[in-house]
């Protein structure tokens, strides 16, 4: 085993590698950008080196800078994590030339599997089944369009150098092909520096099942069984599990053998994942799966494999990279129980899952146990930056079977608190509780197909949140018994309700998640009721038996119990109920009246990012739903559309500019009005 390792990555994977490396007695070396100066992985490492500004192209992707750090720090090896330089064959070559061990496969293996079109041709030669499609070098628009016509719609456009859903677009008919192709190319060029694409048949009722493989430099290769990664949104994995639900043993053997054959075909060494698409329209079967790609690195979802096999995959990576043989043979490996992982993201499920940036005012996880594991690269007080992936943590649970794994994971989510940024915490809990999911009836379209069932009951949650805030704002004996948690706005802090006597009533004007709300609170002794006006209707919540524990409120709402976490943020509150965050603040009525007078038509940036394209100019007439701009943020493109029929009055930004969340990009006026 070598003496030291530099981790050329950040976030939870850097933390993950550091922990195993230190357990093995290696000196750990971290690198960090300006944005990561106080990051968790920097604090955990034995030493840390600054490598540049926040932008990845000027820091984590600068191979020459990282290699210079490795030289100065006397690093024996470089572990690239996943993403960034992990599948960069040129970087692997540079490591070899510099005399530092690259903890990954040989550069030639990365090249062989790095381009999807060439990889699929190679797999066909190795008798590994592939999806029908066009994998040619001619990238002319007409050639690609004709190929799609020949394959038959729906098709998938996929970046040749892609991964993680970037540069991938599903196209249902020929009319949408050109726009999807242009968008896929832009995203691929931005993410990978390569805008080439391939076109494939879209498989009906697909399951995304991948096989973890491992090979050493002594001719040994094994697979560590499968992971089901079918729960995806926008081709990004949301929930992963191992083993795959409903997997026949014959299919498991066939897929495992195919994956090992794929690894051997390219002289592979180290950890890799061979990804397959399975046609589940008639159930899983051994002749119904097709090779998609090979990820020549460790995967984000590797902990579920570690749980069911008892293997530390990072330790295996380090041992194989140091020249040791694989610790186990295929016959030594077996599946123990079931494991499941959710990806906790800083994103807003109530706003098309757009990424959410800001400070983590509260972040709490359950303690790690034999059945629950938390992999996170951030801590309470850290900033979720627009420069990097919005993952907060991976929460992983194990059980004797799938049902027990779901139960353990659900309990872990109930004990998790995120405040300060929006998160998908509540959404994940809803998915885990869905009957179809629990029955294993999954495919890659599951989240879209069941989107209505998975939408949380906003009105009920909002009523509970507002009732909790009413209690908190109006009672002098609020959580903690001090003014620290209360909003410092004088009307809120009046405890009399402007009335004399035991029964008190008041009217509060609040802004909840950007929307104005008004509700009345009546209190008598320890009990109170809150009536909220919403959409010309009233929702009344009656609370009693309220108990405060620090910043957590427990109350009974009728026959139901309520638990709310209350976190102060500026002049307002963050109220977290069942994983969903509500930003609540007193409404500035004068400002509200002024904003309501503009007639609408303001296209605001939903998040900070780069304005990739603008499609309108002043004087243009647009219809509701027309595409106005494309914003690139956190490595993904987001289309911004008109919310009304109108005429473009103002365009306040230009293509290529960086914009901040809330910036007004385009102003529309209704047709016929003066501009």
- Between the alpha carbon of residue 74 and those of residues 26, 29, 37, the distances in Å are 12, 10, 21
CA 523, CA 543: separation in Å to the nearest integer?
9
Q: Is 604 a catalytic residue?
A: no
Closest of 564, 560, 469 to residue 512, by C-alpha: 469
Cis peptide, bond prior to residue 243, ω within 30 of zero: yes
Q: Is 132 helix (H, G, I), strand (E, B) or coil?
A: coil
Neighbours of 99 (CB within 10 A): 9
- Between the alpha carbon of residue 251 and those of residues 202, 211, 226, 255, 439, the distances in Å are 21, 12, 10, 6, 20
CA 91, CA 80: separation in Å to the nearest integer?
10
**Please, are residues 273 and 255 in contact by the beta-carbon 8 Å criterion?**
no
CA 612, CA 373: separation in Å to the nearest integer?
38
- Between the alpha carbon of residue 402 and those of residues 41, 125, 244, 336, 375, the distances in Å are 32, 37, 10, 11, 21
- Between the alpha carbon of residue 42 and those of residues 14, 15, 48, 62, 358, the distances in Å are 9, 9, 6, 18, 20
Angle at 155 between CA 195 and CA 128, to 5 degrees: 85
CA 561, CA 656: separation in Å to the nearest integer?
50
Of 297, 373, 386, 565, the catalytic one is 297
Closest of 466, 450, 434 to residue 577, by C-alpha: 466
CA 412, CA 122: separation in Å to the nearest integer?
43
Note the Cα 320 to chain centre separation in Å: 30
Note the Cα 534 to chain centre separation in Å: 32
Q: Write the DSSP symbol of residue 35.
A: G
Closest of 668, 674, 673 to residue 641, by C-alpha: 668
CA 164, CA 352: separation in Å to the nearest integer?
19
CA 385, CA 367: separation in Å to the nearest integer?
26
What does R_g of the chain's alpha carbons equal in angstroms? 27
Closest of 226, 235, 331 to residue 289, by C-alpha: 226
CA 176, CA 198: separation in Å to the nearest integer?
16
Q: Write the DSSP symbol of residue 457.
A: -
Note the Cα 602 to chain centre separation in Å: 28
**Please, are residues 394 and 409 in contact by the beta-carbon 8 Å criterion?**
no
Tell the residue number behind the tokens 């069932």, with chain if given.
453
Catalytic residues: 297
């Amino acid at each position: 085993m070598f003496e030291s390792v530099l981790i050329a990555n950040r976030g939870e994977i850097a933390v993950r590698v550091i922990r195993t490396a230190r357990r093995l007695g290696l000196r750990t070396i971290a690198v960090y950008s300006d944005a990561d100066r106080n990051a968790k992985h920097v604090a955990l490492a034995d030493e840390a080196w600054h490598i540049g500004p926040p932008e990845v192209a000027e820091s984590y992707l600068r191979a020459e800078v990282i290699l210079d750090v490795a030289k100065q720090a006397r690093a024996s090896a470089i572990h690239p994590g996943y993403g960034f330089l992990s599948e960069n064959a040129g970087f692997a070559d540079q490591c070899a030339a510099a005399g530092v061990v690259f903890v990954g496969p040989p550069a030639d293996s990365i090249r062989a599997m790095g381009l999807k079109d060439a990889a699929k041709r190679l797999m066909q030669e190795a008798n590994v089944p592939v999806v029908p499609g066009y994998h040619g070098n001619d990238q002319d628009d007409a050639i690609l369009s004709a190929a799609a016509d020949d394959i038959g719609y729906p098709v998938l456009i996929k970046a040749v150098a892609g991964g993680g859903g970037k540069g991938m677009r599903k196209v249902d008919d020929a009319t949408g092909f050109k726009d999807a192709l242009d968008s896929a190319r832009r995203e691929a060029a931005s993410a990978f520096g390569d805008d080439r694409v391939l076109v494939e048949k879209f498989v009906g009722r697909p399951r995304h099942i991948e096989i973890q493989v491992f090979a050493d430099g002594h001719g040994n290769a094994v697979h560590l069984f499968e992971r089901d990664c079918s729960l995806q949104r926008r081709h990004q994995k949301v929930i992963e599990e191992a083993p795959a639900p409903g997997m026949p043993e014959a299919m498991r053997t066939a897929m495992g053998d195919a994956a090992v054959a794929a690894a051997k075909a390219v002289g592979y060494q180290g950890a890799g994942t061979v990804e397959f698409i399975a046609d589940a329209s008639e159930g899983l079967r051994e002749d119904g799966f097709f090779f998609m790609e090979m990820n020549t690195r460790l995967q984000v979802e590797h902990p579920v494999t570690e749980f069911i096999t008892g293997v530390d995959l990072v330790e295996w990576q380090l041992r194989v990279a140091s020249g040791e043989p694989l610790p186990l043979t295929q016959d030594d490996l077996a599946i123990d129980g079931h494991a499941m992982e959710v990806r906790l993201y800083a994103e807003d499920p109530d706003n098309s899952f757009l990424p959410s940036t800001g400070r983590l005012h509260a972040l709490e996880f359950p303690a790690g146990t034999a059945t629950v594991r938390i992999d996170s690269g951030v801590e309470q007080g850290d900033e979720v930056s627009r420069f990097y992936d919005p993952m907060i943590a991976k929460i992983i649970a194990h059980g004797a079977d799938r049902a027990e794994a779901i139960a353990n994971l659900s309990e872990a989510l109930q004990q998790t608190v995120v405040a300060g940024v929006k998160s998908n915490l509540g959404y994940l809990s809803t998915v885990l509780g869905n009957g179809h999911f629990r029955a294993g009836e999954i495919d890659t379209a599951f989240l879209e197909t069941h989107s209505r069932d998975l939408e949380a009951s906003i009105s009920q949650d909002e009523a509970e949140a507002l009732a909790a805030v009413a209690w908190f704002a109006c009672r002098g004996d609020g959580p903690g018994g001090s003014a620290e948690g209360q909003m410092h706005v004088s009307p809120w802090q009046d405890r009399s309700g402007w009335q004399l006597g035991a029964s008190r009533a008041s009217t509060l004007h609040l802004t909840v998640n950007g929307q104005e709300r008004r509700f009345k609170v009546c209190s008598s002794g320890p009990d109170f009721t809150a009536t909220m006006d919403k959409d010309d209707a009233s929702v009344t919540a009656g609370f009693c038996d309220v108990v405060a524990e620090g910043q957590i409120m427990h109350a009974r709402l009728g026959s139901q119990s309520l638990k709310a976490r209350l976190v102060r943020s500026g002049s307002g509150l963050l109220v977290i109920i069942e994983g969903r965050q509500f930003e609540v603040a007193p409404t500035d009525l004068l400002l509200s009246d002024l904003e309501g007078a503009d007639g609408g038509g303001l296209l605001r940036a939903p998040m900070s990012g780069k304005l990739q394209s603008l499609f309108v100019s002043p004087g243009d007439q647009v219809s509701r739903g027309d595409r106005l701009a494309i914003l690139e943020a956190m490595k993904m493109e987001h289309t911004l559309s008109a919310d009304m029929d109108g005429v473009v009055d103002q365009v306040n930004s230009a293509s290529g500019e960086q914009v901040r969340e809330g910036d007004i990009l385009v102003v529309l006026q209704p047709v016929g009005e003066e501009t």
